[in-house]
């Protein structure tokens, strides 16, 4: 299973095409926010841009926080989201250490599902789909 | 039937309240240029001065904004302090999409705040905050402080602000948008200043549904447009060297205004060419939100401030027009020096083109003894970067009587101090194209007095018979095409991609089939509405002039032909009068 990485954000020009593409294609929304990837400037445009997106944790804290199993662990990192199970409690978002889960005004969560549909819309190849390396797949004792 | 009215937020600065208004019709006004003119028709005070507190300051997007790539600009409509007539200025940055996601097609500022304020408009917020403490701060510092004062929505927020020039009510104070973009020309910054608005923050924090009824078809069309904008060669010139790529070709055509237009080429041109900027100073490109082209070129200004290898670095955006105005026009033929002047102009919140042309005129006037050292304070001489840097500060702050006069425009200053023959004014301070009669006629008369009103500079560069009727028809038709794009509101760099059949597809995809069928009629109506507003606010095209310096210009095509130029102007004046004729009474009542 491949994961999405924003590997070359130093190249980002701040066009937001990726997050607009995710909202449009994956979530059927027209939005900057209801998307699995969101672009922020880190203190004004001169400081460049950063991407807020799921870093494919394994185990994922948002899965632990979800009381219904709407968020479940995705093989190879990241999460699977079943919206039918979501009770919109909003516990997933604060559990994420990198602010990758966005809650809309009804507390519906939006998070990257590592589908890679945004990649084609980055004009500078900031984004890529790649295999998560084995040695970072799991931390702590597993790595010995 | 779908609601095709615009959603407009009208902020009353004197009451700290706002009205949310359903205004106009997308099928009629389109948005942007058309919507701004329609809002001015309703809320503007044509016979009151620009500084009247109730004059509106209008920011308008269009019916395709954000829905397709490069539909990324905003039109600002206002009564200009430069000529006290209705005017437009355009800017990109994040503003257009921020307005879209905040849920407004237009934001209008009315009234005057008691003390300087920052205004914040978001999907669920309309508020003003005290910004008195920022009065006097330059545009860059203001941006930094405002980011802290209005936390949240980082990356999805647009910050408009003015510098000292907007506070001292310069005729060419700009509004800085998101550090690198500007409502540059004709003094919108002073309209903000006179309203005591130091900054306007728009947070695009709302979520919306996809436009139209067929999300798959919409996504497919979006992809097609995106690929056209990125995969083809068509946009290369904008993201490669960018508009600075014009410097060398214009120089070769003897069309680069240099040293207050005493020359149209210069042997030292290479020092400020697009190639030189790209090779030595370019550090990155950035983009307006919603535009994958990334035409904004950012250069690195590295300045030594102490002997012991102490440097400060700054990021400065550059473009052809800035290189012309703050380089060639004042004889500064070194790219790094140009950046230093652009940086200072940025801080002061001045329009770069007007500021450069103003300094060029002041230099020649000083050299000819029309101005004293006491008045200009600095040793103004072509190429003297240090003196120009100080002079720009003086201009932004209207430091003494002379700089206060110069800040009112070159024509104003020349009328008082002399030197009208070499004041490079075509309605406003000239743009960087000494291409010939067609451009001079067009800029002197056209709506924004801008090189972007028509492609006249390109017309000059092609072989053409000197036929005023043909050229006038070109002006009118080309302007109409541009009005369509500036109403939608597209970046004009995309005009090669956004041809009418594609625009019609886009309009259908967002649920505006009626406009798709009638876009020519709507564009013509908006073209006429703009001119009506312009004439209603006192524009008399007959009174515009071509200063003598323009007649002395020599280009690759030879000397200027004054007779052709005048015939062309008269023909265009007739066309403008026809375009802007008042509506018959019965149509007004409809």
Count of alpha carbons within 13 Å of A93, Cβ hemisphere only?
Answer: 17
A8 Cβ under 8 Å from any chain B Cβ: no
Beta bridge mates, A100: none
Nearest to B202 by CA among B331, B89, B74: B74
Gap between the Cα atoms of B2 and B18, Å rounded = 25
Give the per-residue pLDDT at A47.
83
The predicted pLDDT at position A46 comes to 82
At A131 the pLDDT is: 87
Per-residue pLDDT reduced to its tens digit, B366-418: 999 999 999 999 999 999 999 999 999 999 999 999 999 999 999 999 999 99
User: What chain A residue is nearest to B291 in terms of C-alpha separation?
Assistant: A15
Q: Cα(A10)–Cα(A42) distance, rounded to whole angstroms?
A: 12
Give phi and psi for B342, each to the nearest 5. -60, -40
CB B67 within 8 A of CB B210: no
B317 part of contact set with chain A, CB < 8 Å: no
Structure-token match 């990021």, residue found = B315
Sign of CA dihedral A21, A27, A33, A37: negative
CB contact under 8 A, A16 and B147: no
Instruction: With CB atoms and an 8 Å threshold, state whether A41 touches B284.
Output: no
| Best mutation target, B146, B152, B155, B222, to test chain A (most A CBs within 10 A) | B155
Which pLDDT score, from 0 to 100, does residue A132 have? 78
**Yes or no, beta carbons of A45 and B180 under 8 Å apart:** yes
Chain B residues with CB-CB distance to A25 below 8 A: 219
What is the rounded CA–CA span in Å between residue A62 and residue A78? Answer: 10
DSSP 3-state assignment of B395? helix
Q: Which two tokens stand for residue B95?
A: 């503003």
Cα A77 to chain centroid distance, Å, stands at 11
Determine the Cα–Cα distance for residues B135 and A129; give it in Å rounded to an integer.
48
pLDDT tens-digit profile, chain A (144 residues): 899 999 999 999 999 999 999 999 999 999 999 999 999 987 777 888 999 999 999 899 999 999 999 999 998 889 999 999 999 999 999 999 999 999 999 999 999 999 999 999 999 999 999 987 766 555 555 544
The 10s digit of each residue's pLDDT in B7-60 is: 999 999 999 999 999 999 999 999 999 999 999 999 999 999 999 999 999 999
How long a stretch of residues is chain A? 144
**What is residue A143's predicted lDDT score, i.e. its pLDDT?**
46
A125 touches B at CB < 8 Å: no
pLDDT per position as a tens digit, B426-475: 999 999 999 999 999 999 999 999 999 999 998 988 878 899 999 999 99
Taking contacts as CB-CB distances below 8 angstroms, the residues of chain B near A105 are 207
Shortest distance, CA B314 to any CA of chain A (angstroms): 9
Q: Is A41 on the interface with B (CB under 8 A)?
A: yes
Three-state SS across chain A? Answer: CEEEECCCHHHCCCCCHHHHHHHHHCCCEECCCCCCEEEEECCCHHHCEEEEECCCCCCCHHHHHCCCCCEEECCCCCEEECHHHCCCCCCHHHHCCCCCCEECCCCCEECCCCCCCCHHHCCCCCCEEEECCHHHHCCHHHHC
Describe the crossing of helices B32-43 and B468-488 by its angle, rounded to 10 degrees. Answer: 90
What pTM, to 2 d.p., does this model score? 0.96
Report how far residue B294's alpha carbon sits from residue B224's, in angstroms, rounded to the nearest whole number.
18
Residue B40, helix vs strand vs coil: helix
Q: For A12-38, what is each residue's pLDDT tens digit?
A: 999 999 999 999 999 999 999 999 999
Give whole-number Cα distances, B9 to B30, B57, B102, B111, B142, in Å: 17, 12, 10, 14, 24
Give B67's DSSP letter: T
Residues B254, B262 contacting (CB under 8 angstroms)? no
> Predicted ipTM?
0.91
Look at residue B290 and give its three-state secondary structure.
Answer: coil
Helices (H), B129-195: 139-149, 164-167, 188-194
Which portions of chain B are predicted below pLDDT 50?
none
- Residue B585 burial (C-beta neighbours within 10 Å; 0-12, 13-18, 19+): exposed
């Amino acid at each position: 299973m491949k994961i999405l990485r924003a590997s070359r954000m130093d190249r980002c020009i701040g066009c937001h095409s990726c997050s607009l593409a995710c909202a449009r294609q994956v979530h059927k929304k027209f939005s900057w926010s209801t998307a699995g990837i969101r672009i922020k400037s880190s203190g004004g445009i001169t400081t460049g841009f950063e991407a807020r997106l799921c870093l494919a944790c394994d185990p994922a804290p948002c899965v632990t926080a979800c009381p219904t199993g709407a968020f479940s662990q995705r093989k190879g990192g990241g999460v699977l989201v079943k919206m039918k199970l979501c009770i919109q409690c909003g516990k997933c978002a604060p559990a994420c250490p990198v602010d990758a889960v966005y809650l809309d005004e009804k507390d519906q969560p939006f998070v990257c599902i590592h589908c890679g549909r945004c990649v084609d819309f980055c004009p500078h190849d900031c984004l890529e789909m790649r295999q998560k390396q084995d040695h970072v797949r799991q931390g702590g004792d597993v790595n010995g | 039937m779908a609601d095709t009215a615009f959603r407009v937020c009208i902020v009353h600065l004197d009451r700290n309240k706002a009205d949310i208004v359903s205004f106009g019709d997308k099928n009629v006004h389109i948005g942007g240029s058309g919507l701004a003119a329609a809002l001015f028709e309703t809320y503007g005070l044509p016979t009151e001065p620009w500084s009247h507190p109730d004059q509106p300051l209008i920011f308008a997007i269009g019916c395709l904004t954000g829905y397709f790539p490069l539909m990324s600009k905003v039109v600002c409509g206002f009564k200009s302090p430069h000529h006290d007539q209705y005017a437009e200025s355009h800017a990109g940055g994040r503003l257009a999409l921020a307005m879209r996601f905040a849920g407004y097609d237009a934001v209008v500022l009315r009234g005057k705040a008691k003390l300087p304020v920052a205004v914040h408009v978001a999907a669920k917020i309309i508020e003003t905050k005290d910004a008195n403490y920022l009065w006097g701060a330059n545009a860059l510092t203001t941006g930094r402080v405002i980011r802290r004062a209005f936390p949240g929505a980082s990356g999805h927020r647009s910050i408009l602000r003015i510098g000292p020039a907007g506070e001292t009510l310069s005729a060419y104070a700009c509004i800085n948008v998101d550090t690198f973009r500007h409502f540059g020309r004709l003094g919108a910054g002073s309209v903000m200043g006179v309203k005591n608005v130091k900054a306007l923050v728009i947070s695009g924090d709302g979520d919306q549904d996809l436009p139209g009824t067929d999300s798959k078809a919409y996504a497919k069309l979006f992809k097609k447009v995106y690929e056209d904008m990125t995969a083809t060669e068509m946009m290369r010139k904008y993201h490669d060297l960018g508009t600075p790529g014009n410097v060398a070709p214009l120089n070769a055509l003897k069309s680069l205004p240099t040293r207050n237009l005493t020359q149209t080429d210069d042997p030292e041109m290479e020092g400020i060419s697009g190639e030189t900027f790209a090779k030595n100073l370019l550090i990155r490109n950035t983009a307006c939100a919603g535009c994958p082209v990334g035409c904004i070129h950012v250069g690195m200004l590295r300045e030594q401030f102490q002997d012991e290898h102490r440097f400060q670095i700054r990021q400065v955006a550059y473009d052809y027009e800035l290189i012309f105005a703050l380089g060639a026009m004042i004889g500064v033929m070194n790219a790094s020096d140009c950046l230093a002047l652009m940086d200072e102009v940025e801080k002061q919140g001045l329009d770069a083109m007007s500021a450069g042309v103003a300094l060029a005129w002041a230099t020649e006037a000083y050299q000819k003894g029309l101005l004293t050292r006491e008045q200009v304070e600095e040793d103004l001489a072509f190429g003297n970067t240090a003196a120009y840097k100080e002079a720009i500060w003086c201009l932004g702050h209207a430091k003494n009587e002379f700089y206060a006069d110069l800040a009112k425009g070159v024509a104003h200053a020349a009328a008082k101090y002399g030197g009208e023959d070499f004041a490079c004014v075509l309605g406003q301070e000239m743009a960087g194209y000494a291409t010939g009669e067609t451009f001079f006629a067009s800029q002197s008369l056209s709506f924004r007095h801008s090189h972007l009103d028509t492609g006249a500079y390109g017309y000059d560069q092609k072989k053409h018979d000197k036929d005023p009727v043909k050229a006038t028809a070109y002006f009118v038709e080309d302007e109409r095409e541009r009005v369509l794009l500036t109403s939608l509101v597209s970046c004009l760099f995309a005009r090669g991609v956004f041809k009418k059949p594609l625009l019609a597809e886009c309009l259908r995809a967002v649920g505006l089939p009626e406009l798709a069928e009638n876009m020519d009629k709507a564009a013509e109506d908006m073209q006429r509405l703009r001119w009506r507003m312009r004439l209603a606010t006192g524009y008399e095209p007959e009174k515009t002039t071509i200063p003598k310096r323009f007649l002395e210009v020599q280009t690759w095509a030879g000397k200027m032909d004054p007779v052709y130029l005048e015939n062309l102007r008269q023909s265009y004046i007739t066309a403008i009068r026809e375009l802007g004729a008042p509506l018959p009474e019965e149509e007004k009542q409809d």
